[in-house]
A and B are shown apart, each in its own frame.
Chain A
């Protein structure tokens, strides 16, 4: 089957005005771990701009494709501070349900999800984090493959079916 190729998206940090766009973002309904991610994404509306978001340094990155009339949100990631100020927590990384499996029209081409992960990690490094944590469901083999290929290693099994992963972020210079 031919790869679906799209133009590389642009990235920006979501503000309080973006709450509606984030809420209407759809990353699918099944299986259960996709639903888990969707619930977290729906929570964003009530978190953006609140003291809790600032305390946790919660940032939502919006990956948008330029449309004829307006930009379309095609992926997002949520990053916040974990238990200490040098450790980031990759809360969610999600690609729109209609673009899952898409690749970017680049040379060499790379999957959209890889580009979203890489720019999220670069952002985390620029924010001064040295390490990043991520939780992935064991059954979510695509996500596990995505993050382990990027360099995440498993730390421990969490409650339920999730595994905690960690990786060292590059220095700010290397991330730019």
Chain B
């Protein structure tokens, strides 16, 4: 059942943790930045060391996943835009968040195996574990990151970065539409959407960066929702009336051609 009453309480934010590659892409949107650039940034204190998660699988530690507070991407952007002062400030804030209680608890939760672990234990795998296990630390971290980004809003605007977080409400051929938490609707090219399992109702964050001379760099990613599994594709009135039967098309076909309606009266005045 869709709980529309609950929907108003859902908090949507950017995902609180990013992969190393996502941070690197902010350093060079063309994707040319590699290990040495990353090391240089880290040594200079322009990005943090990240949170190390050692996920267990089959009773053994299964490699190490390093996840970075999302503010590191803003720090890398600031560095690219010749704002090392801002990059240092953002990295310092990110370091605090990575050392915070929610981040440490999240790393603990992510270590634990869950019955539905499938696929690679990369950052997406870690998010999956957290959602299946105990998502409270991730919710708290997401809230804290969002709060920090709001506080740094002016500085982010100075480097041309703005973010919209919302819900995918339409995919129609070449375009898609996102409804922000503030009720604004944004149209995007469908080609910028992340790959499946994105579907109608998915929370998305749209990060837009001005690259100068009118050029924009748009990154669309899954967003973090603190209430999982609200199926927005379900009929908002489903629990209040009979369900439409499965195989409706067959039923309608068997019922024969629908009769055309007879509209005999004049139209009412529209306002």
A:36-82 near B, CB below 8 Å:
36, 39-40, 43, 46-47, 49-56, 58, 63-64, 78, 80, 82
* Cβ contacts under 8 Å, A78 to chain B: 237
Assess whether B196 is interfacial by the CB under 8 Å rule. Answer: no
Q: List the one stretch of A20-28, A93-101, A114-122 in contact with chain B.
A: A114-122
Whole-angstrom distance between the alpha carbons of A51 and B182 in the complex? 11
B30 within 8 A of A: no
Best-buried of A83, A121, A170 by chain B (most CB within 10 Å): A83
Contact of B179 among A10, A36, A54 (CB under 8 A): A54
CB pair A51–B259 under 8 Å, yes or no, is no
Residues from chain A with a CB closer than 8 A to the CB of B166 are: 51
Kindly list chain B residues whose C-beta atoms are within 8 Å of the C-beta of A91.
Answer: 237, 241
Please measure, in the bound complex, the distance between the C-alpha atom of A147 and the C-alpha atom of B265, giving whole angstroms.
15
* Chain B count of residues within 8 A CB distance of the other chain: 49
Name B residues whose Cβ lies closer than 8 Å to a Cβ of A: 2, 4-5, 7-8, 166-170, 177, 179, 183, 185, 200-201, 232-237, 240-245, 248-249, 251-252, 255-271
**Residues A151 and B259 in contact in the complex (CB < 8 Å), given A10-B269, A54-B170:** yes
Partner of B236, one of A58, A155, A174: A58
A51: contacting residue among B232, B237, B258, B262, CB under 8 A: B232
Instruction: Give the Cβ gap from A110 to chain B, nearest Cβ, in Å.
Output: 5
B252–chain A nearest beta-carbon distance, Å: 6
Select A43's contact among B240, B248, B269, beta carbons within 8 Å.
B240
B-chain residues with CB within 8 Å of residue A31 when the two chains form the complex:
none
Q: Report B232 CB to chain A, min CB distance, Å.
A: 5
Query: Would B242 and A16 count as touching, CB distance under 8 A?
Result: no
